[in-house]
Structure 1
Amino acid sequence: MRKLFVVFKKIIPICFLLAATLSIGQQKNNKLKKNLISSDQIELERHFQILNSAINTVDSAKIYNDIASVHLKSKYYLAVPKYDSVRYYGNKSLQLTKSDKTTEGIQQYLRSLNRIGNAYKNEGYISKASENFNKILNITENISNPSNFYEARQSATTEIASFFAAQENFELAINQYTSLFEYIKDKNIDEKKISAIVFLKFGRFHRKIGRMDIALQYAYKAKEVATRNDSFIRVAMAYLELAFIKFENHETKEVDLFLAKAVDLLKNPKYIGLLAEYYYIKALIADRNTNVFEKIQNAEKAFELLNKQTVSKKHITVGNLLYEAYKENGDFQKAIAIVEDTRTLEKIISNNEELKKSAFSEITRRDTNIVFEQNKSQTKSNVILFVILLFIMAVITTIYFFKDRQKKIRLSMIIAKKNEQLKQLNEAKSQFFSNITHELQTPLTLIAGPLEQVLNENKEPLDPITKGKLQMVMNNTNALKTLINDILDLSKLKAKKLKLNAQSTNLDTFFNTTTQKFIQLTKQKDISFEYCFKDLEDFHAIVDTKKLEKIINNLLSNAIKYTQLDGAISVLGTLTKKNQLKLIVKDTGVGISAADIPQIFDRYFQTSDTTKPLEGGSGIGLSLVKELVELMNGKVTVESELGQGSTFTITMPVKKATTKLSENYSNTEFLNTDISLDHLQLETEFKVKKHTVLIVEDHTEMQEFIASILQKRYKLIIVNNGKEALEKLQTNTVDLIVSDIMMPVMDGFTLLGMIKQSETYYDIPIIMLTALAEINYKLKALTVGADDYLTKPFVSKELLARTHNLLERYITRKKIKAETIAQEDALEELLTKTDDETNVLTSIDHRKHTKTDIELIAKVAKLIEQNIDNPDFKLNDLSEKVFLGERQLRRKIKLITGLSTKKFQQEIQLLKARRLLEEDTYGNVTAVAISVGMDNVTRFSKLYVARFGKHPADYF
């Protein structure tokens, strides 16, 4: 009896569990509705109303297709989906457009085939569905303008491929997409039209049959296309597919990375299917790591999310995984429960198939009723006659409206063409300003460079009057440089390439420092200047200080320009209750007329007021202010009255900094430092010029200027382009090359590439000296192999310092290389003398610098940079990563680079520091030094000046 009681005790809970799971299945069926939801019903009524006013067959066909789409959408919640209605209205659209050869007519015909095919597919009639989708392929095969109908072909191909994939015939599924790619190539269709889904499924089918390389390639393509089209949900799908591939390749770290990126895009709870996929992969990872707890936790989340969707085979897969997890954990009751739940879901899937069959019966019944009603209506002759008269009237009306519509279409095409021409003209204007600013860099360099030489390198001191005049020229040169940078910023804003670089800043200190620069200017005009920054004491905010400084500079410059003697200017900065920064710049100047105020922030605006004197100006200052403020999510307004002055008000949101990451404009440790290059031992005159420098520059005056800087120290060869440079290299020994980029015949990038590919010249150091300051040009040059990149206008001492350092390294490398060759020759001689020493010397590497050596150094540099701020990363860690002993690694680095291991590491640190400084990544020198692993800031500054000839603080 006791044993019988124990058995019943175990069976009763299981019975309750079975009843509960069956109840769950019943609830899922109960969620299915009988009628369309109200929003779909409203949409249908709207389409029928539009149908009454349709003026031609194509418009009517489009509306019938829209009605079919509403019915097709109802499959997600109806107990018996309206597939008969989908086919009924789809066939109506087919009848209307079967003879229409216009682009719109063919598109609606293909769309009808797609709707009917989808209806058959959802009912399980695969052969009929395939028949409709194959019709789409046949129609688009020989069409005159295939690009207009590519979307239909792509959709049909995807559906047919999915049929083969459902049968696990992945090779045939892949062939469908291969045919699509061949079609795109043969018809010269833009590859950008290919959907991310196509690449995603094509890669997935390859993954299913174990072709991981191809799967990975197309998963990345899918991510690229989805990113370009701003489809974040498809980006998430691509990341999940990449995670699957990496999981099957046992690349755990990359799996975690892609999963993290995917889940970050799936914050919206409506993407429960993809979230379920995410947790399913997490459960598989836990299973591989034998972490039963995480396997249960993630599988439960996946199963819970899937239960919120229509029942599918994915439920069964996840349910089986969850069953294994419970069994491994010893939770046998839960395991039994999940098995029963899975069986219930399988029954639901089976029931859905039965629903499809009953839906077909309903279709047959409705079709019969339609035929009956049509026959009945045909018996009434008087109604037919009335209908014919109505039809004739409708035809006449249609012809009238059709001609009117054609006229409107032609007019709209003319307007669209004019708009396109205006757009192109505007783009050409913006491109012109961008190009001209680059061209201005060269003459600006030729003004600023010699001026700097006269002011700083003159042996005898200049008299005060001459020096004052020259300083005035230098000040205006700097103003011109600022104007050029403003135009470049406007071009970047137009192209949406200007980005914010926000950082923690003490607003009180920043505003005080920025406004104090204008005190001297206001004194010169006897203008009263007051500024107050209420509530900003010790307030640290996350803002882009460089762009905010440009805003203030432009507003104050305008205020000083248009304010008369004995006038007044005031600046007020405060925080509003909504935590917004409010900045007010007020002056008592000439004011702005009411007619000009609406256009005052337009680019290149000049007043048309004839009563005002000609004021000049570029018309970009206030435009730049407005666009920069809007870039920072702010707003700028102006209030003005002629003769009374103007008030500019800026409001923008500011985020309070949680930590004081930097103290911009208050860190004076490196400001106003007198930079000296004495330690470089650059004598003013060299008695013996040991080195030869090749200058490649097409601008005659720029050639003379560069030569004036270098000729005291080096022998010079000057050529006009890259082709002439290559010819000179064949007949002359050159130790360093200084080259421009934009040149005729052969540009600097081509020259750089040919030199770095040459076995004879590849080790000659090259400095790219150009007006192209954008980061993408700099990265391209450094990637190809440039040793340094200097932008115009440049400082003479900086060019000298960089030239000196590169030559020192070049000579060191040549010396070590020569010594190594001599040692190798000696060793070879020893080997030929005696056989007794052979066993001792055969382990020594006798190779010269090869491609392998270069790849080794590149790998070492990359590892050092990746661990640049890791104090625990030592030489033994590095040697393990490259599979060499410490001693051997030291010798390799010395042999190839001419530097010790420590010096090589230091070089990488300084190069990274220069990149961070030029890109304005941090707010001060201390942050840059720490980020490259140098805690001693003073030592870092000295090393940086010695390497590049420019103090780090100068970047701020």
Structure 2
Amino acid sequence: MLKRLWERCQEWYVNYSEFSKRSEEEGLPYFRDKLFGSILLLTNILGLVSYVPSAVLSIYTGELFVLYIDTFAVLVLLFLAFYKGMSLGLRKKIFSINIFILSFVLFLYLGFRGNGATLLFMLNIMITLYSGREKGLKAVLINAIFYALLIICIYFELANIPSFGMYQVEVLFVILLNNILFNLLIVFAVSFLIDHLHRALLKGNKLQLELIEKHKNVLKEKERAELSDKLKAAFLANISHEIRTPMYGILGCAEFLKSYNTGEKDYLEYVEIIESNGKLLLQVVSDILEVSKIDAGLISVDTTTFNINEIINEIYISLLPLAKEKGLFFLNNNNFMNEHDTIINSDKDKLTSILKHLLKNAIKYTNKGGHVALKCISHNNDYLEFYIVDTGIGIPEDYFKHIFDPFYQVDIQNKKALHGSGIGLAIAKAYTELLGGELSLESREGVGSTFWFAIKTNLNEN
């Protein structure tokens, strides 16, 4: 509570007094000015608090001179605190002189019974804090001159100073000398600390500026990367479209050519090669176009109601010839408790694409005599789990974090002479997430892989 109250007082006083026109970037001078403002405000508050009992005691004991000097010092402090028409440098000088006069007078009048020596000691520290080591040393020098004049006056009996009559000159000399030496020690210690704090502040400011500059560079690079991604997505979409258009023409012509020379085996075989490779190229181009749309955030979900069992059977039947061609055992293992579980609300085309990409990938990387299995499990009509299990070449664990990246292939060195665009898994993962699910992988090199994904069965509830 006191901390919040003090912070509010500081904020109000800084706004009221308009102390320093410096900015925080100037470093130490700014903080010294700010510190002086806090010292002046706190000195006024504590001075007024201590003034009341001191004035009462002075009147009670008849020490009216102490009352006069305290009153004068407090009035000067109030004037410095609340009079705006004065420069900051002049405020510091008058503040220091005011405390010096108060300290010297109290020390001469009360000796070691008063707090004059303590005020001088505190003033040396404050001057070092808000004006620097040089001014602090000058303050100690003024103290030394004052003490020297005091010793001379007492030794040569030039003035009668009752408050020091009980002390021998030698003892008083040692006390005052120790006082000066202790003041010097404190001034050097405080200035040493301030210098190190200043260096740390400068280093911190330098690091902050470097971080700001690096942050700006990162933002620039981010903007360039985003622009590059947009250009890449636009290029891929455009080039994919430009390739698909003539490919449809080539495939149409290939279909038309089938009606010629139907009795010539070699001719039909060549036409079949053109058609099959054309379809393969068209599929690759279509996949690239899908990836570019995904990167550009142009893919949306088209929810319809359909029978998942029918979709699975259609996919199974369409891929069964490819599996038989490679000599694989292709299994369709569904686990639907009743017919109601097979009716879902989702995006039919995207789910079909996910299953086809994963199954084609499993068939592609499984050798002759291996197994590929598709299993689907329904969970209370809330979500469906799909498992695509194969006994293929497997995937090293080091590649797991990259396997779903576009254009990435585990068989990067082409050891198995397998070909493909490397984007099927990326599309499958993106579509799975669009359908409210996730896609994960378990695999052992040389043993096989299991791709698992789950989707919500009612996207309309989102």
**Unaligned ranges ≥5, structure 2:** 26-76, 83-91, 101-118, 133-193
Residue 271 of structure 2 corresponds to residue 532 of structure 1: no
Paired residues for 1:464-613 under 5 Å: 466-535=267-336, 537-538=339-340, 539-576=342-379, 579-607=382-410, 612-613=415-416
Distance (whole Å) between structure 1 residues aligned to residue 247 and residue 266 of structure 2: 23
Paired residues for 1:156-195 under 5 Å: none
Distance (whole Å) between structure 2 residues aligned to residue 611 and residue 481 of structure 1: 23
Change (3 A) 1:611 1:461: closer
Distance (whole Å) between structure 2 residues aligned to residue 451 and residue 97 of structure 1: 86
Alpha-carbon distance, 1:560 to partner: 1.1
Alpha-carbon distance, 1:615 to partner: 2.6
> Counterpart of 2:433 in 1: which secondary structure?
helix
> Counterpart of 2:408 in 1: which secondary structure?
coil
Contact 1:526 1:565 in 2 (8 A): yes
Alpha-carbon distance, 1:499 to partner: 0.3
Counterpart residue type for residue 390 of structure 1: L
The one-character-per-residue Cα deviations of 1:506-525 (angstroms, maximum 9, x if unpaired) are 11112112222111111112
The one-character-per-residue Cα deviations of 1:368-387 (angstroms, maximum 9, x if unpaired) are xx979957x96656555433
Counterpart residue type for residue 300 of structure 2: K
Contact 2:354 2:431 in 1 (8 A): yes
Counterpart residue type for residue 305 of structure 2: S
Distance (whole Å) between structure 2 residues aligned to residue 587 and residue 400 of structure 1: 59
Distance (whole Å) between structure 2 residues aligned to residue 553 and residue 653 of structure 1: 19
Alpha-carbon distance, 1:616 to partner: 2.9
Distance (whole Å) between structure 2 residues aligned to residue 591 and residue 597 of structure 1: 11
Paired residues for 1:628-777 under 5 Å: 628-655=431-458
Residue 129 of structure 2 corresponds to residue 390 of structure 1: yes
TM-score when normalising by structure 1? 0.29
Change (3 A) 1:380 1:390: same
Choose from 589, 611, 618 the match for 2:421: 618
The one-character-per-residue Cα deviations of 1:916-955 (angstroms, maximum 9, x if unpaired) are xxxxxxxxxxxxxxxxxxxxxxxxxxxxxxxxxxxxxxxx
Residue 247 of structure 2 corresponds to residue 444 of structure 1: yes
Distance (whole Å) between structure 1 residues aligned to residue 237 and residue 265 of structure 2: 39
Alpha-carbon distance, 1:533 to partner: 1.9
Distance (whole Å) between structure 1 residues aligned to residue 199 and residue 443 of structure 2: 61
Alpha-carbon distance, 1:566 to partner: 1.1
Alpha-carbon distance, 1:425 to partner: 4.0
Change (3 A) 1:386 1:483: same
Tell me which residue corresponds to 1:88.
12
Paired residues for 1:837-876 under 5 Å: none
The one-character-per-residue Cα deviations of 1:294-318 (angstroms, maximum 9, x if unpaired) are xxxxxxxxxxxxxxxxxxxxxxxxx
Alpha-carbon distance, 1:653 to partner: 1.8
> Counterpart of 1:432 in 2: which secondary structure?
helix
Greater relative contact order, per chain length (Cα 8 Å cut-off, separation 6+):
2
Distance (whole Å) between structure 1 residues aligned to residue 19 and residue 286 of structure 2: 61
Q: Which has the larger radius of gyration?
A: 2
Alpha-carbon distance, 1:388 to partner: 3.8
Contact 2:233 2:293 in 1 (8 A): no
Change (3 A) 1:483 1:389: same
Distance (whole Å) between structure 1 residues aligned to residue 306 and residue 389 of structure 2: 24
Once superposed, what is the RMSD of the aligned Cα atoms?
Answer: 3.9
Distance (whole Å) between structure 2 residues aligned to residue 403 and residue 87 of structure 1: 27
Alpha-carbon distance, 1:634 to partner: 0.9
Contact 1:540 1:656 in 2 (8 A): no
Paired residues for 1:311-326 under 5 Å: none
Contact 1:504 1:657 in 2 (8 A): no
Distance (whole Å) between structure 1 residues aligned to residue 331 and residue 270 of structure 2: 30
> Counterpart of 2:401 in 1: which secondary structure?
helix
Counterpart residue type for residue 406 of structure 2: R
Counterpart residue type for residue 303 of structure 2: A
TM-score when normalising by structure 2? 0.58
Alpha-carbon distance, 1:463 to partner: 4.3
Counterpart residue type for residue 586 of structure 1: V
Change (3 A) 1:573 1:463: same
Distance (whole Å) between structure 2 residues aligned to residue 415 and residue 657 of structure 1: 40
Contact 2:359 2:388 in 1 (8 A): yes
Distance (whole Å) between structure 2 residues aligned to residue 476 and residue 533 of structure 1: 33
**Unaligned ranges ≥5, structure 1:** 1-40, 52-63, 68-84, 103-369, 659-956
Distance (whole Å) between structure 2 residues aligned to residue 90 and residue 546 of structure 1: 67
Paired residues for 1:283-298 under 5 Å: none
Tell me which residue corresponds to 1:784.
none
Alpha-carbon distance, 1:87 to partner: 8.5
Alpha-carbon distance, 1:452 to partner: 3.0
> Counterpart of 1:517 in 2: which secondary structure?
helix
Change (3 A) 1:586 1:421: same
